[in-house]
Amino acid sequence: MKNLGLLLLLALSAAACAAPGQIVGNMPQQQANNYPPVIEDSPARKQAVQEAWKRFLGERQLPEASLEVNPITNTPHAMPSQLAGRINLNLKNGKAGETEIKEALRQFIDLSRDVLTGEDKTAALGLKDLSLVSFINDGSFYRATFRQVNYPFPIADGYGELHFAVGKNGGLLQMSSTLLPNVSLPTRAEVKPQSLNEKVLGRELTYTTIAGRPQSYRVTKPEEIKVGDLIVYPKVTGSRMEIHLAYPVTVGEGMTWTVYIDAINGTELGVKQNFAS
């Protein structure tokens, strides 16, 4: 009987520790402690990608050129202009048709995944983690877009993509990458989507008119709120990036905003204005 009383007391104490208004889910404690996963910028990460880039140039007998990288992920923002057209993709039978270019790009990605992902090859994403989602004949060259598919949900804000421009002769003209490292994320939400209507109802959003005057808009009606499907949401703060599982919640009439809300703990992560002002 004493043991039963002690267990009840501990349970009541744990419940009392939850902050007022906090959404408490059933996520295992270890997973909760590791959420959200964080990518930290560091000199070591920067050095690793520069060493990978140096090897990339050496293997292709290319001159030294500085690689501009994206913050934190250290993925290529753009290929140095002096190298445009100097990297020839290995084309099957020397042909440069659409089929050959697609296959050559896949081989290039596989060989260069450390540079394209900002990660060591042993941890870098591979071809199984990517899908070719767009291939466009743009006159004198092709444009190709690969999308990261290793997460069970789409990635927001333009992250998770590889872009290439390739000449009709097989020369690589441009490349850029916003790929994210493969981190462990929950596969289901702890916050129920129907609870989000109440959370954003009454939310005041601000914007600036074309004349430069500040204005505000208040969400007053439930029909102004549309909860979207789950996404992966990278949140950048200073030199770190948190990877969240989130709901995109569109609010407004005519003028709309997307409010991103964490699907695990219910915190607001960010707001995007969907109209020009």
> What is the SS3 assignment for 242?
strand
For the cut 50, the answer to whether the pLDDT of residue 23 exceeds it is no
**Residue 32 falls inside a structural domain:** no
Longest dimension (CA), the chain: 82
13 pLDDT tier (thresholds 50, 70, 90): very low
Write down the pLDDT at residue 21.
29
Element (H, E) at 43: helix 43-59
- Tally of domains in the chain: 2
**For residues 203-221, b (16+ Cβ closer than 10 Å) or e, as one string?**
bebeeeeeeeeeeebebee
Q: Are 265 and 215 in the same domain?
A: yes
Q: Which residues pair with 233 in a beta bridge?
A: 244
**Residue where a domain terminates, one of 144, 177, 210:** 177
**Residue 71 falls inside a structural domain:** yes
**Residue where a domain terminates, one of 136, 151, 177:** 177
Q: Are 173 and 260 in the same domain?
A: no
Q: Are 60 and 153 in the same domain?
A: yes
For the cut 60, the answer to whether the pLDDT of residue 22 exceeds it is no
Mean pLDDT over residues 157-183, rounded? 95
Task: Determine what percent of the chain is predicted with pLDDT higher than 70.
Answer: 87
Q: Measure the CA–CA gap between 110 and 162, rounded to whole angstroms.
A: 13
Q: Are 135 and 202 in the same domain?
A: no
Tokens linked to 217:
């808009």
Q: Measure the CA–CA gap between 11 and 207, rounded to whole angstroms.
A: 46
Name the least confident of 30-34, 40-44, 200-204: 30-34
Write down the pLDDT at residue 27.
54
Q: Are 246 and 216 in the same domain?
A: yes
Contact 102, 144 (CB under 8 A): yes
**Residue 27 falls inside a structural domain:** no
Write down the pLDDT at residue 188.
95
Q: Are 106 and 136 in the same domain?
A: yes
**Residue 7 falls inside a structural domain:** no
For the cut 80, the answer to whether the pLDDT of residue 6 exceeds it is no
Higher pLDDT, 19 or 150: 150
Which range marks the domain in which residue 99 is found? 38-177
Q: Measure the CA–CA gap between 201 and 45, rounded to whole angstroms.
A: 42
- For the chain, the average pLDDT equals 87
**133: Cβ contacts below 8 Å, ≥ 6 apart:** 145, 146, 147
Write down the pLDDT at residue 97.
83
Write down the pLDDT at residue 14.
40
**Residue 225 falls inside a structural domain:** yes
**Residue 23 falls inside a structural domain:** no
For the cut 80, the answer to whether the pLDDT of residue 258 exceeds it is yes
Comparing CA positions, the residue from 139, 201, 189 lying closest to residue 166 is: 139
Q: Are 44 and 119 in the same domain?
A: yes
Mean pLDDT over residues 27-50, rounded? 82
Q: Are 157 and 208 in the same domain?
A: no
Q: Are 106 and 212 in the same domain?
A: no
**Residue 6 falls inside a structural domain:** no
Mean pLDDT over residues 126-145, rounded? 95
Q: Are 223 and 172 in the same domain?
A: no
Q: Measure the CA–CA gap between 181 and 184, rounded to whole angstroms.
A: 10
- Distance, C-alpha 170 to centroid of its chain: 29
Q: Are 101 and 200 in the same domain?
A: no
**Residue 146 falls inside a structural domain:** yes
**Residue where a domain terminates, one of 148, 177, 206:** 177
pLDDT tens digits, 207-226:
998 888 899 999 999 999 99
Q: Measure the CA–CA gap between 55 and 58, rounded to whole angstroms.
A: 5
Write down the pLDDT at residue 209.
84
Q: Are 140 and 63 in the same domain?
A: yes
Higher pLDDT, 25 or 102: 102
Tokens linked to 8:
């009840």
